[in-house]
């Protein structure tokens, strides 16, 4: 039976959807048609209704149509913040390869908040206020639609060093490929080719590089909650593929693409100072200078300085 042998594990809002889309076009790669099955992240999702792939049989169905492709993969961003996912993935795929994408933690949190508001998972619309509720989330006291909220806090998901170190320790650095979002955005073609080299597939292939997963805003939050409830209710009566089509069609009617407004500058400066130590630790772990992430003026700031080795070996 077909089984995945590489996993894009996160972080959220760090280019994973774009990479998933570009890898899916490669003739030697089969990607799960369900992005983010999150099978190995039960400790993160708990009883969350979006945790749909719960059994091994359901998970393997995601790869049943794979043919003679050299690599089979999936993308689930909750795997990075999940303490148990690295060991579970290693047990399932001992020779598996891991791809990690990392973005400035402050920018990632802000983008993630926007996404969770769109998905009605986050009911605090103001980013600063949502961050203030982080402590309650970490204590398991925050509620979502009447149930305890298992999703990690924003700060927990932005604490990359410990998360990356877990994968290094479980898989070994040679099987973990780290992509910095700045590099991916600045030279997508080069970052993509280095990823193909890491996966040991034909590196000359070039997909259609198009903008993926732009910022989404809802036209009506009340309608959005209704549509998502109806979409989840359909899981009991409509097969997976037509259900996905119907759900996407309905949600698309209530969606508009709109640039994310700039973060409050005072809040941004405070968060950059807060994460300065974390960013320094991450840079030491990866062997590269990430200090530009903590500069308060991002205007005309170049990407973080790369290590002496190529990006494909940044985790070695």
Residue 52 predicted with pLDDT over 80: no
Mean pLDDT is highest, among 53-57, 70-74, 113-117, 129-133, for 70-74
Mean pLDDT is highest, among 39-43, 206-210, 216-220, 288-292, for 288-292
- In terms of Cα–Cα distance, which of 16, 203, 42, 6 is closest to 101? 16
What pLDDT does residue 147 have?
44
What is the phi-psi region of residue 145: left when phi exceeds 0, alpha when psi lies from -120 to 50, beta otherwise? left
Q: pLDDT, tens digit, for every residue of 241-272?
A: 555 555 555 555 444 555 668 899 999 999 99
Instruction: Tell me: cis bond preceding 11? Omega within 30 of 0 counts.
Output: yes
As a whole number of angstroms, the distance between CA 24 and CA 18 comes to 10
What pLDDT does residue 260 have?
67
Nearby residues of 230 by Cβ (< 8 Å), 6 or more positions away: 250
As a whole number of angstroms, the distance between CA 267 and CA 128 comes to 7
Q: How many CA atoms lie within 13 A of 306 on its CB side?
A: 17
Residue 87 predicted with pLDDT over 70: yes
Q: pLDDT, tens digit, for every residue of 70-83?
A: 999 999 999 999 99
What pLDDT does residue 311 have?
36
Q: How confident is the model at residue 108 (pLDDT cuts 50, 70, 90)?
A: very high
Q: Please compute the mean of the pLDDT values over residues 147-156 and round it to a whole number.
A: 72
- Farthest-apart Cα atoms in the chain, separation: 55
Residue 47 predicted with pLDDT over 50: yes
The pLDDT mean for the chain works out to: 82
What pLDDT does residue 49 have?
58
Domain boundaries, given as residue ranges, for the chain: 6-211+275-313
Nearby residues of 142 by Cβ (< 8 Å), 6 or more positions away: 133, 136, 148, 149
Residue 37 predicted with pLDDT over 90: yes
Q: What is the dihedral of CA 216, 220, 221, 223, to 10 degrees?
A: -110
Q: How confident is the model at residue 62 (pLDDT cuts 50, 70, 90)?
A: very high
Q: How confident is the model at residue 140 (pLDDT cuts 50, 70, 90)?
A: low
pTM of the model: 0.81
6-211+275-313: CATH, from 3.40.50.300, 3.40.47.10, 3.40.50.720, 3.90.920.10: 3.40.50.300
As a whole number of angstroms, the distance between CA 83 and CA 211 comes to 31
Nearby residues of 92 by Cβ (< 8 Å), 6 or more positions away: 3, 40
Map the chain to HEC letters. Answer: CCCCCEEECCCCCCCHHHHHHHHHCCCCEEECCCCCCCCCCHHHHCCCCCCCCCCHHHHHHCCCCCCCCCEEEEECCHHHHCCCHHHHHHHHCCCCEEEEEECCHHHHHHHHHHHHHHCCCCCCCCHHHHHHCHHHHHCCCCEECCEECCCCCHHHHHCHHHHHHHHHHHHCHHHEEEEEHHHHHHCHHHHHHHHHHHHCCCCCCCCCCCCCCCCEEECCHHHHHHHHHHHHHHHHCCCHHHHHHHHHHHHHHCEEECCCCCCCHHHHHHHHHHCHHHHHHHHHHHCCECHHHHCCCCCCCCCCECCCCCHHHCCC
Do 218 and 255 form a contact (C-beta atoms < 8 A)? Answer: yes
Do 32 and 74 form a contact (C-beta atoms < 8 A)? Answer: yes
């Amino acid at each position: 039976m077909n089984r995945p042998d590489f996993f894009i594990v996160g972080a959220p809002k760090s280019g994973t959807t774009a990479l998933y889309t570009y890898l899916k076009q490669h003739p030697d790669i089969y990607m799960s048609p369900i992005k983010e099955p999150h099978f190995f992240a039960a400790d993160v999702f708990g009883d969350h209704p979006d945790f749909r792939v719960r059994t091994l049989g359901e998970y393997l169905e995601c790869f049943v149509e794979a043919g003679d492709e050299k690599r089979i993969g999936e993308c689930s961003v909750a795997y990075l913040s999940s303490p148990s996912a690295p060991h579970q993935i290693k047990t399932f795929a001992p020779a598996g390869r891991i791809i990690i994408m990392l973005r400035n933690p402050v920018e990632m949190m802000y983008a993630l908040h926007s996404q969770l508001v769109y998905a009605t998972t986050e009911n605090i619309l103001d980013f600063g206020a949502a961050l203030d509720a982080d402590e309650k989330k970490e204590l398991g006291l925050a509620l979502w639609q009447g149930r305890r909220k298992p999703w990690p806090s924003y700060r927990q998901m932005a604490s990359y060093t410990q998360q990356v170190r877990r994968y290094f320790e479980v898989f070994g650095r040679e099987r973990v490929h780290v992509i910095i979002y700045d590099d991916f955005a600045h030279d997508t073609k080069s970052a993509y080719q280095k990823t193909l080299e890491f996966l040991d597939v034909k590196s000359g292939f070039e997909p259609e590089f198009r903008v993926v997963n732009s910022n989404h805003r809802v036209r009506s939050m009340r309608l959005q909650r209704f549509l998502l409830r109806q979409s989840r209710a359909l899981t009991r009566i409509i097969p997976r593929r037509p259900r996905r089509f119907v759900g996407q069609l309905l949600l698309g009617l209530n969606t508009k693409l709109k640039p994310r407004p700039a973060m409050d500058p005072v809040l941004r400066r405070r968060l950059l100072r807060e994460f300065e130590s974390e960013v320094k630790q991450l840079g030491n772990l990866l062997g590269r200078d990430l200090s530009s992430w903590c500069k308060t003026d991002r205007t005309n700031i170049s990407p973080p300085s790369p290590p002496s080795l190529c990006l494909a070996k940044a985790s070695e």
